[in-house]
Structure formats: C-alpha cells, structure tokens
Amino acid sequence: MISLPSKDFLETPIEEFVISSEKVAHVQIGNSAEHALLVLTKTGYSAIQVLDAKYRFHGLINAQRITDAIIGMDHIEYEKLGNIRVEEIMQTDLPLIHLNDRFQRALDLVIDQNFLCVVDDNGMFMGILTRRIVLKQLKKQLYQFKQ
Ligand code: AMP
C-alpha cells in the first residue's frame, strides 16, 4: 500500500521549487510574432512568457497561436508574421500561482497545465513551476513514506 504524502508536505511553499525568471526564456510586449516564433523554435519550449519592460507578466505565446494568426483561406500568410505583435495573440486566460502559494495548489493546477507562471504581489514574473518538478517532488515524498 502506498502511504499518502504528509499534510506538511502539501503545505510546503512552492518558492523553493521555482525555476527563477532569469533562467526562463521570454518575449516582450511589442515583439513581433516572427520574433516569438524564432525564440520558440530555438529553445524548443512549448510556450513562452510575454513580459513588459518592468518584468510584469502579461500572457503566454505558443506556436499554435502564431500559426492560427497567419492561416489564410488557402495558404499560410508568412508575410504577416512581422506585423503581428505578441500581445495581439497571446493567451491571457490562464491560472497564475503566487510565490507564497503552497504545494497543494500547484498540484491541483498542474493537472491541466504543463507549467505554471509564478508571480508576486505586484504581478512581477518570478519564474515558472513545471509539472515535471511537481511530479518529482511528489514521487520523492511517496517513496520516502514507503520506506
Ligand atoms: P519541462 O518540464 O522541462 O519539459 O518543461 C515544460 C515546459 O515548461 C516547456 O515546454 C516550456 O514551455 C516550459 N519551460 C521549462 N523550462 C523553461 C525555461 N527555462 N524557459 C522557458 N520555458 C520553460
């Protein structure tokens, strides 16, 4: 029988598991869809953050949204890429997690999100928490309790 992770563990602040913002690829408000596509392709990440000059979080951009924006009736309008701004097509309806939130909330959210964007009280982007990291921590707990 597998023992469940302790309540204490679920109450752990997420802060220690966050990949800090300086290690996270991002684009800025005002950048073109072409630039975002370059960053997405070069990094290989599925989605990247859109931040403003003050490092406040605004949304996420992915290749699917960029492609959707340039698909015409019968061909892909590549020439549009340079004229579309990332803020016109970014995703904004996503759950954010606060730096002081607990592991339990992260666990709930990563069921539907591959990674979570972490912000502070002022909406400043602090980094990301990936599903991979959350699962690794959960696995560590389960194995510890098994022994
Ligand atoms: P991973 O768990 O490492 O496969 O990451 C899952 C997703 O989190 C990636 O596809 C990216 O969208 C995002 N991600 C992970 N690490 C970074 C990073 N350093 N910069 C930007 N996005 C990242």
Residue 139: CB partners within 8 Å, gap ≥ 6?
A: none
CA–centroid distance, residue 146 to ligand 1 (Å): 30
Q: Note the pTM of the prediction, 2 decimals.
A: 0.89
Nearest to 141 by CA among 8, 17, 16, 15: 8
Query: In this structure, are residues 140 and 36 in contact, taking their beta carbons and an 8 Å threshold?
Result: no
The pLDDT score that the predictor gives to residue 57 is 97
The pLDDT score that the predictor gives to residue 18 is 97
Ligand 1 pocket, mutate which of 39, 61, 130, 135 (most atoms under 8 A from CB): 130
% of the chain with per-residue pLDDT over 90: 85
The pLDDT score that the predictor gives to residue 144 is 78
The pLDDT score that the predictor gives to residue 8 is 84
Q: Indicate whether 2 pLDDT > 60.
A: no
CA–centroid distance, residue 147 to ligand 1 (Å): 32
The pLDDT score that the predictor gives to residue 3 is 55
The pLDDT score that the predictor gives to residue 111 is 97
